[in-house]
Structure 1
Amino acid sequence: MASEDRERWDARHAAVSAAGAPTLPTPPDALRGREHLLPAAGRALDVACGRGAVAVWLAERGFDVDAVDVSDSALALGAALAADRGAGDRVRWWAHDLDDGLPGGCAGPYDVVVCQRFRDPALYPVLARCLAPGGLLVVTVLSVVGDEGGRFRAAPGELPAAFGGLTPLAHTERDGEASLLARRP
């Protein structure tokens, strides 16, 4: 990702913070109503974590979380949220350009891997390899299904095809989003 993209994301996250919109811990979209699928605890990876809502939510449930994002502003907001919620010691924040893959310190294995609102098909095999046996994958991306096309949108069936070596638990494609919950056998 070019430096102008990093600056754009920094500006976007800083503007949300300046507007006073609070960030609260929240489960990943695809997991809402299915929280029972989470392992009891373990290690988690939050890819393109933004302001840390999911990372902190996982930390509050006992996970040790590696949270990765390109935006320093987002990571600072996430670290502040984690500290405010008493989960600061459970999350490691990684400033990293995901166009270069995952940071070297995020090799796994992870009991939960979350990737929400970031799509890079080249990263899909890496995310699958990071999962521990029995690990849960939670992915949500923009989709052409029910929406117009675009370079950041997944084609129909992209997620189940990309993660075919995992056991699917839930898959949806509608209203411009595609989600997959899957478990490593």
Structure 2
Amino acid sequence: MAEADGVRWDGKYAGREAGAPRLPDVFAPYADELPTAGHALELACGFGEASVWLAERGLTVRGVDVSAVAIDQARELAARRGVSERCTFSVADLDDGLPPGPPAAVIVCHRFRDPALYSAIGDRLAAGGLLAISVLSEVGAEPGPFRARAGELRDAFAGLQSLAAGEGGGQAWLLARRPRR
């Protein structure tokens, strides 16, 4: 993203505070599927609510977002919840690719879409790792440059074992596991 994107998102997050640690609502029914150990990566983490939830569950988490304001809030949330030692948050421009890091037991990506990263996201998953991704969709909504076409997530992550998925109401989501080799 251009520097202007960071400034724009900073403006959206300014004056707001993180809520309680939680998974995005679409994945909440599948919380028991998520691991309790290993490394996790949250892309476009915003206030870090999912990252902190994962850290409270026992994972070591890296959260990245283009907004410095959101990252500051995420760090504060982790400190308030006593999981700062398991959470690392950093400003990252995902247009430059995924930040370096170890294979992930879980990757969470909620309401961020960049098809150019799909391959790297799948590759970053550890064997048996879980992907929880949701994006805006054209299904049940107007088409647009930030919306996935019908079947986009299913097609992009066809090499993963789908555990649950859905499309409709302007949202597409997928919960999928990388096969153990």
TM-score bracket for this pair, using the shorter chain length: over 0.9
What per-residue deviation string (whole Å, max 9, x for no partner) do you get for residues 66-86 of structure 1? 101111100000000000000
**Which residue in the other structure is 1:182 paired with?**
176
**Which residue in the other structure is 1:73 paired with?**
69
Query: Residues 143 and 176 of structure 1 are in contact (CA less than 8 Å); yes or no, is this contact kept in structure 2?
Result: yes
C-alpha displacement of 1:169: 0.5
**Which residue in the other structure is 1:45 paired with?**
41
Structure 1 unaligned residues grouped into runs of 5+: none
Greater Cα offset, 25-34 or 141-150: 25-34
Is 1:10 aligned to 2:10, yes or no?
A: yes
**AA at the equivalent of 1:142:** L
Divergent runs of 4+, >6 A: none
**AA at the equivalent of 2:7:** E
Aligned partner of 1:99 among 95, 99, 107: 95
C-alpha displacement of 1:31: 1.8
Query: Residues 30 and 180 of structure 1 are in contact (CA less than 8 Å); yes or no, is this contact kept in structure 2?
Result: no
Query: Residues 30 and 139 of structure 1 are in contact (CA less than 8 Å); yes or no, is this contact kept in structure 2?
Result: no
Aligned partner of 1:83 among 51, 71, 79: 79
Aligned partner of 2:129 among 132, 135, 146: 135
What does residue range 145-156 of structure 1 map to in structure 2 within 5 Å?
145-156=139-150
What is the distance in 2 between the residues matched to 1:99 and 1:13?
20
**AA at the equivalent of 2:176:** A
Query: Residues 28 and 114 of structure 1 are in contact (CA less than 8 Å); yes or no, is this contact kept in structure 2?
Result: no
C-alpha displacement of 1:4: 1.4
Is 1:109 aligned to 2:93, yes or no?
A: no
TM-score normalized by structure 1?
0.94
C-alpha displacement of 1:29: 3.1
What is the distance in 1 between the residues matched to 2:44 and 2:36?
23
Is 1:35 aligned to 2:31, yes or no?
A: yes
What does residue range 165-180 of structure 1 map to in structure 2 within 5 Å?
165-180=159-174
Number of residues of Structure 1 aligned to a counterpart in Structure 2: 179
- Identical-pair percentage: 51
What does residue range 50-65 of structure 1 map to in structure 2 within 5 Å?
50-65=46-61
TM-score normalized by structure 2?
0.96
SS of residue matched to 1:45: strand
**AA at the equivalent of 1:140:** S
**AA at the equivalent of 1:35:** A
Query: Residues 66 and 91 of structure 1 are in contact (CA less than 8 Å); yes or no, is this contact kept in structure 2?
Result: yes
**AA at the equivalent of 1:29:** D
C-alpha displacement of 1:94: 1.8
